[in-house]
């Protein structure tokens, strides 16, 4: 065997941390690279916590199981046992590990294509911080190159505990009379959602389970998936359709007409239903959150769950109930709360089930999902991205036009408007005369350039995104 150093292996791997977790091409996640990440993470959390085991789970990507095997083999070298929970949603793994006061690793690339994958890391108290990420990359620990990888024994407790977390909040089947569609595709939680919603009283129809991995991006829903939802709603008469991204931490839920909700509007409705006092949300979220008047304080952050979570401690010093969410829909519960007199522990990582359940509970009074959305939406958002657009190229565009926004407006063909103000919290966000907003930033997870827009109508927001992405410098029209 060959003795290796974690920092050397990781520096040469080409794998980098994005907005949430380490991401890269499947071929970059060799057994030794996975081992280096697992051991560097182990040594990082050992500096603060005592534990005797680590939990691991995976999504349904073809490459995920072998990556989990490599992580487990590396931990075994260091005398740490692995509890392998199999294919479960990321928040299910995080919750089970936090309940056991142990760290965990989720093997997932979330929504990115199946030729890529990633690793998400959780301390015993929740997601790692950006400081932890730097520690993992820089830490120097030795390990032996991995040989043959052993099979893993699956433990089913995490899936059941995650479902029970939500079923325990309701003593009546409050969804009785509701018809819910579950767009299963290749979601890590697809085996959990139908029985869970049925126990809550709903009639459930499963839709399009796939044996091939489907990269659902809840922040840039494809035209195909938009049409599917509308067609399904006409065919089945659904009250809502529920789905998630690949690892089940970002929800995708439609109204009764098959219109997919924007994640930040879903988050607003969930937080309002929970009675949250203060929110931490990324700068890309819809300004309807503040306009709703439902919250005592709203703090804006950079995009990515670690930045949202970093604000929770500060907010908790001033407010009794704290939450956060992202424009992609992931909801983070920053403090313990009560629902129907039942305790719900904080889960400071993105979750798809809580916002769906709280939205549907809000319809118990007789209002439809679309009516709830209309009540709180005063501004409209749209977003999309250019795939296979080099990150460095995106950064260069933003750097070149920051401070020279008028030239960018001319390049984008946005005539008759000027820039009222600029926000460079994350990328380049331009507030234009007349109220429109255009926001460009490189994706933190894949080589993509993302555009977010906000306007007085959904049609205007969508048109802005299409125009901007069609005329970004370096894009062939």
Distance, CA of 172 to chain centre:
30
Radius of gyration from C-alpha coordinates of the chain: 22
The three-class DSSP label of residue 49 is coil
Q: What are phi and psi of 219, to 5 degrees?
A: -95, -15
Active site residue 13: no
- The DSSP result for 107-157, as a single string, is E--TTS-TTEEEEEEEETTEEPPHHHHHHHHH---EEEPP-SPPP--B--H
The three-class DSSP label of residue 12 is helix
263 close to 204: Cβ distance less than 8 angstroms: no
Which residues lie closer than 8 Å to 397 by C-beta, 6 or more apart?
Answer: 440, 449, 472, 473, 474
Which residues lie closer than 8 Å to 128 by C-beta, 6 or more apart?
Answer: 41, 44, 121, 122, 136, 306
- The DSSP result for 348-411, as a single string, is EEEESHHHHHHHHHHGGGS--HHHHHHHH-SSEEEEEEESS--HHHHHHHHHHHTT-HHHHHHH
DSSP 8-state class, residue 293:
-
Q: What are phi and psi of 246, to 5 degrees?
A: -60, -40
Q: Which helix (H) or strand (E) holds 305?
A: helix 305-316
Instruction: Give the C-alpha distances (Å, rounded to integers) separating 9 from 176, 286, 310, 458.
Output: 54, 41, 29, 47
The three-class DSSP label of residue 337 is strand
The single residue of 110, 292, 335, 443 carrying the catalytic annotation is 110
Distance, CA of 320 to chain centre:
25
Query: Residue 303 and residue 19: Cα distance in Å, rounded?
Result: 7
The residues assigned a catalytic role are 110
């Amino acid at each position: 065997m060959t003795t290796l150093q974690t920092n050397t292996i990781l520096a040469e791997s080409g794998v980098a941390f994005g907005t949430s977790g380490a991401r890269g091409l499947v071929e970059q996640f060799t057994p030794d690279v996975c081992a280096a990440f697992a051991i560097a993470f182990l040594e990082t959390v050992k500096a603060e916590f005592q534990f005797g085991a680590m939990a691991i789970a995976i999504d349904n990507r073809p490459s995920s199981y072998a990556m989990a095997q490599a992580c487990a083999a590396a931990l075994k070298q260091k005398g740490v046992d692995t509890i392998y929970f199999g294919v479960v949603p990321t928040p299910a793994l995080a919750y089970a590990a936090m309940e056991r006061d142990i760290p965990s690793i989720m093997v997932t690339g979330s929504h990115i294509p199946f030729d890529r994958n990633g690793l998400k890391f959780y301390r015993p108290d929740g997601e790692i911080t950006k400081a932890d990420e730097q520690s993992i990359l820089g830490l120097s620990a030795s390990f032996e190159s991995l040989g043959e990888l052993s099979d893993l024994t699956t433990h089913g407790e995490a899936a059941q505990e995650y479902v029970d977390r939500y079923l325990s909040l309701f003593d009546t089947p409050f969804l009785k009379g509701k018809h819910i569609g579950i767009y299963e595709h290749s979601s890590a939680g697809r085996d959990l959602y139908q029985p869970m919603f049925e126990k809550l009283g709903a009639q459930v129809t499963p839709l399009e389970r796939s044996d091939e991995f489907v990269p659902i991006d809840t922040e840039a829903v494809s035209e195909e998936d938009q049409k599917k939802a509308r067609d399904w709603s006409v065919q089945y008469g659904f009250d809502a359709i529920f789905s998630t991204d690949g690892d089940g931490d970002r929800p995708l839920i439609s109204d009764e007409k098959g219109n997919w909700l924007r994640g930040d509007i879903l988050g607003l409705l969930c937080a309002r239903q929970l009675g949250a006092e203060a929110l931490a949300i990324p700068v890309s979220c819809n300004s309807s959150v503040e306009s709703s008047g439902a919250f005592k304080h709203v703090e804006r952050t950079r995009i990515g769950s670690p930045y949202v979570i970093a604000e929770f401690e500060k907010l908790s010093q001033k407010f009794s109930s704290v939450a956060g969410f992202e424009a992609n829909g992931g909801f983070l519960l920053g403090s313990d709360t009560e629902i129907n007199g039942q305790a719900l522990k904080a889960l400071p990582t993105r979750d798809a089930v809580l916002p769906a359940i709280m939205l549907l509970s809000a319809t118990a009074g007789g209002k439809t999902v679309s009516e709830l959305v209309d009540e709180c939406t005063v501004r409209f958002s749209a977003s999309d991205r250019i795939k296979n657009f080099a990150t460095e190229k995106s950064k260069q565009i933003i750097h070149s036009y920051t401070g020279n926004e008028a030239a960018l407006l001319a390049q984008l063909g946005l005539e008759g408007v000027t820039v009222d103000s600029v926000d460079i919290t994350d990328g380049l966000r331009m507030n234009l005369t007349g109220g429109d907003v255009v926001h460009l930033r490189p994706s933190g997870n894949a080589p993509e350039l993302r555009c977010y827009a906000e306007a007085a109508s959904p049609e205007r927001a969508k048109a802005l995104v299409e125009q901007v992405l069609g005329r970004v410098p370096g894009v062939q029209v």
